[in-house]
Structure 1
Amino acid sequence: MRCKGDDMSERMIALGKSGDFFGPLYPYIIDDDVTDVDYNGREVWITDSDNCRHVCKDLILSQDFVDQFTGRVANGVSKAFNRQNPVLEAETASLRITIVHESVCLTGRSICIRKSLPYVRLHARQMIAEGYCKEEVLDLLLSCVADHKNIVVVGEPGAGKTELCKFLSGYIPEDERVITIEDTTEWHYPSMHPDHDCLELRINRQMDYTQAIKTCLRLNPKWIMLSETRSKEVVYLMECLSTGVHGMTTLHTSDVRKIPDRMLNMAGNERDAGRMENDIYSFIDVGILVRRRGWKDSMERYQISRYIDQVCFFSREDGKNQVQIVVEDGKVISDAWGERKGTYYEAKVAMG
């Protein structure tokens, strides 16, 4: 049985393929080197795959186009957009569109178009060469995936949390079933890894995150990829990981040491706080903080770079919850690793 939401989504996807739909923005929509298109009510800003951000001085959006585009998006998803409904969201297979009404956005109507394309933007050699992370940090993270560690990637919006998860998930063996859970398509796991055993679960009004996580346990997963942990579903995520299923997820916080508190706040009163905290330290193995920084280059173009700032290990041993920082400010802490080599597991054993 088809639901109304599915029809809206397909209609939006069909409209999104039309050049008339996006008007003067269309060249940027079809350019795979463009990752974000932002309109602040006055100017259009473009972010490209080289992390360069610049204003399009020769592109001025008329109020007529802004109104028409908003109307097309609203019609595509059958949603109202006015003072009473000031935020409009829609998506296609590769785009996420957010429009904010001028009644709450005092600089004028805001349009944000973010792309999520079915390929991985991060590559090992490039990550090292461009300062995203040091080679030993990359080796550490890949060892964590090989050792089936549960990973939480944190950072501010736009830091590149999902992109790092997409990169790491590419090192999961093809015979280990992966189930992705998302409300908007970002992982594109089956498209990127067509030979891997994978299922995609889509969050909608008929299936929320909590139900999706519960359903996963009946689908024989080896890994669960939760695009973002936002609320009380964190309780069921912990229960899922406690069964031996492995996982990756993202959440918003500014320090890996804040991950347990952030998860506790999301859980609310759904579970005893002490027990929940112990579960977090028991079943979350690795925390990673991704940051981004910006500056102007010699041509006055705004550049953005992303990098791994922190990596930590969580553990619960002898009744004590512990967090071990092994990477700080992008650098491996020598006191934590010493001269030891080998896999993450060997290093953790060596650290005691």
Structure 2
Amino acid sequence: MNQNQFMRLKQQIKEKLDLSSTVSDAKLMELIEEAVFLASKEEKWTSNEIHASVKRMFDSFRGLDVLQPLIDDPSVTEIMVNGHEHIFFERRGAVEQYPYALESAEKLEDLIQMIVSKVNRIVNQSTPIVDARLQDGSRVNIVLPPASLSGPTLTIRKFPDKPLLMEDLVQMGSISVEAAEVLQALVESGYNIFIGGGTGSGKTTFLNALSGWIPAHERMITIEDSAELQIQTVPNLVRMETRNANTEGRGEISIRELIRASLRMRPNRIIVGEVRGAEALDMLAAMNTGHDGSLSTGHGNTSIDMLSRLETMVLSGASLPIEVIRKQIASALDIMVHISRMRDRSRKVTEIHEVIGIKDGEVELHPLFLFEERGNVSDSNVIGELTYTGSPLQNMHKIRMAGKSLPTWFSHNKEVCEAK
């Protein structure tokens, strides 16, 4: 069914709808099937074409129109709508252009308003930027004119129906078995871990996988801009989400406020989905006040770069001496993990560092695992693995307090290092 046929059929169905009352999905489907079957006799469509036409028409009324097939496709991870005519999607790391377009800019705006209304968000010309989510948990970012010069812009980041476990990431080659073993001991022992990486590198996916090792008896609070985490192993879980200001400029709830509120809720651990600004100060304060095992993520090019960004974030919220900020960071964070999106579009953990304190006025990082590329260098395939550096873990206090132990091979290397 081409676009002209689609628009003509849709208009016929609209004329038959009784707008004086609510039309059920069953009644709508009945009208669509009747119209499509009549058209199929003239056009001599196959049964597959009829089925596809019925679904496309139903999606245009009750789903996300031409975007719905992309939403339903599990291999698609990101959908980018740059105005109603230009739609792109990412599948297996490669970005492709979608052959279909939305009917009009008005239709795209209707879809946007439908999305934000379901999560009690407001987006308009006075507040043209908003984060939201779909019912399946997919993350949505919306930018309207005048902020977007390309017309209404919609970006949807999809997540798998079943959250990936660390075992899945090991099988995909994102992290080595050895590194996963060590991280499991660190998470269970209550080490504060910060995950850094670029946009689309898989920080949220990795954070979700790490949370699978949090002991089930602990109370956990998650704080996010738009709820994305899919934590299923901790029964005593409180999920909190920020809220934008209303049309009168009131009612905003920021990450900073939620972090402060969470401290009065007796959490064992606090997970901050992502820090971007002044809330970094509150996150570090929470980690420094007995909430061991807390986790968070942020945007950075390397672990060292992430430290600099954290300093800048804290400075945006408080005029503190840089020495004080660095002491706060060194005291709060125990482990830093960095994830990179490689040139072959794969996502891999490339650095795991221990934060061991301050040296010469700088936060000192101690490398535990580093990614080493091996074999012939090519653009199509990155060959390498996350390799243990042989360095011991300096801070064993939390491991001992939790009654845990590191893998025997890690401990053996530790003893060798100490003997030297």
TM-score, reference length from structure 1: 0.78
Query: Where in structure 2 are the equivalents of 1:66-145 lying within 5 Å?
Result: 66-74=105-113, 76=117, 77-81=121-125, 87=129, 89-93=131-135, 94-101=137-144, 110-116=153-159, 119-124=162-167, 126-145=168-187
Superposition deviation, residue 152 in structure 1? 0.5
SS at match of 2:228: coil
RMSD between aligned alpha carbons?
3.1
| Match status 1:334 vs 2:389 | yes
Which stretches in structure 1 are left out of the alignment for 5+ residues?
A: 1-17, 296-303
Q: Take 2:81 and 2:359, find their aligned partners in 1: how far apart are those partners? A: 54
Q: Take 1:350 and 1:243, find their aligned partners in 2: how far apart are those partners? A: 35
Match of 1:7 in 2: none
Match of 2:311 in 1: 264
Residues 235 and 271, structure 1, Cα contact 8 Å, conserved in 2: no
Q: Take 2:289 and 2:148, find their aligned partners in 1: how far apart are those partners? A: 45
* Highest RCO, 1 vs 2 (Cα 8 Å, sep ≥ 6): 1
Structure with bigger strand share is 1
User: How far does the alpha carbon of each residue in 1:101-144 deviate from its partner, in whole angstroms, 9 at most, with x for none?
Assistant: 576656665431122456322441x3233321121111121121
SS at match of 1:291: strand
Match of 1:28 in 2: 70
Residues 31 and 149 (structure 1), Cα distance of their counterparts in 2 relative to 1, 3 Å cut: same
Query: Where in structure 2 are the equivalents of 1:1-352 lying within 5 Å?
Result: 19=59, 20=61, 21-41=63-83, 43-48=86-91, 51-55=92-96, 59-62=99-102, 64-74=103-113, 76=117, 77-81=121-125, 87=129, 89-93=131-135, 94-101=137-144, 110-116=153-159, 119-124=162-167, 126-189=168-231, 192-193=232-233, 196-204=235-243, 205-246=251-292, 247-268=294-315, 269-295=318-344, 304-316=345-357, 321-329=363-371, 330-336=385-391, 342=408
TM-score, reference length from structure 2: 0.66
Match of 2:380 in 1: none
What code does the residue aligned with 2:324 have? R
Q: Take 1:350 and 1:272, find their aligned partners in 2: how far apart are those partners? A: 40
The number of residue pairs the alignment matches comes to: 316
Q: Take 2:386 and 2:139, find their aligned partners in 1: how far apart are those partners? A: 34
Q: Take 1:109 and 1:206, find their aligned partners in 2: how far apart are those partners? A: 23
Superposition deviation, residue 32 in structure 1? 3.8
Q: Take 2:94 and 2:81, find their aligned partners in 1: how far apart are those partners? A: 13
Residues 350 and 265 (structure 1), Cα distance of their counterparts in 2 relative to 1, 3 Å cut: farther
SS at match of 1:336: coil
- Bigger Cα Rg: 2
Which stretches in structure 2 are left out of the alignment for 5+ residues?
A: 1-57, 244-250, 372-384, 394-405
* Identity over aligned pairs, percent: 20
SS at match of 1:225: strand
SS at match of 2:367: strand
User: How far does the alpha carbon of each residue in 1:45-65 deviate from its partner, in whole angstroms, 9 at most, with x for none?
Assistant: 3334xx3435255x3204x34
Superposition deviation, residue 188 in structure 1? 2.7
SS at match of 2:64: helix
What code does the residue aligned with 1:342 have? T
